[in-house]
Amino acid sequence: MKKKLKWIGLAAVAIFMLLQLANPDRTNPPVVPGHDLFSVQPPPPKVAALLRTACFDCHSQETRWPWYSRVAPMAWLVANDVKEGRAKLNFSDWPITDPAKAARKFGNISDVVDSSEMPPKKYTLIHGDAELSDAQRKVIVDWAEAQSAAASGTTK
């Protein structure tokens, strides 16, 4: 029995080591000045700080890749979350020439932050500083709603 457990343990270690060879890319494409929200429509400092802390790791090209993003299988989960996050909303690639699209993005920000859908629990469990209080959520929601109204040409 002990011999069998030893072989199972060695096989598990070997598989874990082989998994490390298949790590996904962890890239941060360059942020093109004039194409990101912060250079086109800089949010107020308080909002900017909240967005950087709670949103930027998945929703920008300025992702901070933590140590566990280099260890499979967590590497796959983190890389996939960032890929999906950037596809849904990327502060580094803002629709500067499409006000209607920008208005929708601001509206989506308001909706997901107000409903506590973002930032997700699996992220805030590891990144406690990204947890938003009700007051912080209100700051982001109010800003996003005002930006959405301005981009769509309506008044709030």
How many structural domains is the chain composed of?
A: 1
Distance of CA 37 to the CA centre of its chain: 15
pLDDT over 90 for what percent of the chain?
72
Q: What is the residue range of 13's domain?
A: 2-152
CA dihedral sign of residues 66, 70, 76, 80: positive
User: CB within 8 A of 142, min separation 6: which ones?
Assistant: none
CA–CA gap between residue 11 and residue 152 (Å, rounded): 59
pTM for the model: 0.85
Taking only the tens place, the pLDDT of each residue in 66-121 is 999 988 888 999 999 999 999 999 999 999 899 999 999 999 999 999 999 999 99
